């Protein structure tokens, strides 16, 4: 009787994991890779120091959020205080780092960087007092701009990163030059090393 119960339980676990994998494959990640720029011509690199590996806890069309206007966003796990780097050169247009604590309706700390094509990058959940840049400052790709945190609508210490069009507030589909797998588009539950590929 015990062996039969264990066998049934084991079968149910296999079915459950298979179902979860199918749902993950079908309903998360990019549904149309043609809207993303080719990895080889992307002006973006992963937003943390060269040689560092980070876990993507949520990517495009994520499970928890990253739907609708936020569908093209990325969350990278980072211990509080980790360096956040500029994914692309530009001008800092917004710095908020005065908040602490987290929750659904808790204010967030962010840095926005304006790019030459008019888009802006948003770096969110930075720690209180964690900004390393000021509004109006020019930053170069790879420059440390903040310390990561767990502030605002955040379930764990991480960096939320997305690029958006200021007029529509819609996130933009971007790939990363240094993400060699997945056509340059980070996927949930995978590790990625920053600047693993040197730009030519």
Asked if residue 16 has pLDDT above 60, the reply is no
**Mean pLDDT, all residues of the chain:** 86
Give, in degrees to the nearest 5, the angle at Cα 171 between 184 and 106. 115
Split at pLDDT 50, 70, 90, the class of 69 is confident
pLDDT number for residue 46 = 97
Tell me the C-alpha distance between 126 and 82, whole Å.
9
Q: What percent of the chain has pLDDT over 70?
A: 80
The pTM for the full model equals 0.84
Tell me the C-alpha distance between 143 and 84, whole Å.
8
Asked if residue 24 has pLDDT above 60, the reply is no
Tokens of 184: 């340059």
Q: What percent of the chain has pLDDT over 90?
A: 62
pLDDT, one tens digit per residue, over 126-169 is 999 999 999 999 999 999 999 999 999 888 999 999 999 988 88
Split at pLDDT 50, 70, 90, the class of 2 is low
Asked if residue 200 has pLDDT above 50, the reply is no
- Detail the DSSP E strand segments found in 72-178: 73-77, 83-85, 90-96, 110-114, 120-124, 126-131, 138-139, 144-148, 158-164
Sorted by where each starts, the structural domains of the chain and their CATH numbers stand as: 33-193 (2.70.70.10)
Higher-pLDDT residue of 64 and 42 is: 42
Asked if residue 190 has pLDDT above 80, the reply is yes
Higher-pLDDT residue of 57 and 6 is: 57
pLDDT number for residue 153 = 87
Tell me the C-alpha distance between 163 and 170, whole Å.
8
Q: Residue 120's closest CA among 174, 81, 193?
A: 174
* Burial of 108 from C-beta contacts in 10 A (0-12 / 13-18 / 19+): middle
């Amino acid at each position: 009787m015990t062996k039969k119960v264990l066998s049934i339980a084991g079968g149910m676990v296999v079915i459950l994991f298979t179902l979860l994998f199918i749902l993950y494959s079908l309903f998360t990640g990019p549904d149309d890779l043609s809207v993303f720029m080719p990895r080889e011509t992307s002006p973006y690199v992963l937003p943390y120091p060269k040689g560092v590996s980070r876990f993507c806890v949520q990517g495009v069309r994520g499970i928890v959020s990253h739907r609708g206007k936020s569908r093209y966003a990325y969350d990278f796990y980072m211990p509080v205080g980790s360096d956040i780097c500029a994914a692309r050169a530009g001008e800092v247009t917004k710095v908020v780092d005065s908040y602490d604590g987290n929750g659904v309706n808790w204010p967030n700390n962010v840095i926005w960087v304006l790019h030459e094509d008019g888009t802006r990058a948003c770096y969110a959940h930075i720690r209180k007092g964690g900004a390393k840049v000021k509004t109006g400052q020019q930053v170069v790709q790879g420059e440390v701009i903040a310390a990561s945190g767990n502030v605002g609508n955040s379930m764990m210490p991480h960096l939320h990163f997305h690029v958006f069009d200021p007029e529509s507030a819609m996130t933009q589909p971007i790939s990363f030059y240094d993400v060699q797998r997945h056509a340059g588009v980070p996927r949930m539950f995978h590790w990625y090393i920053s600047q693993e590929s040197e730009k030519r």
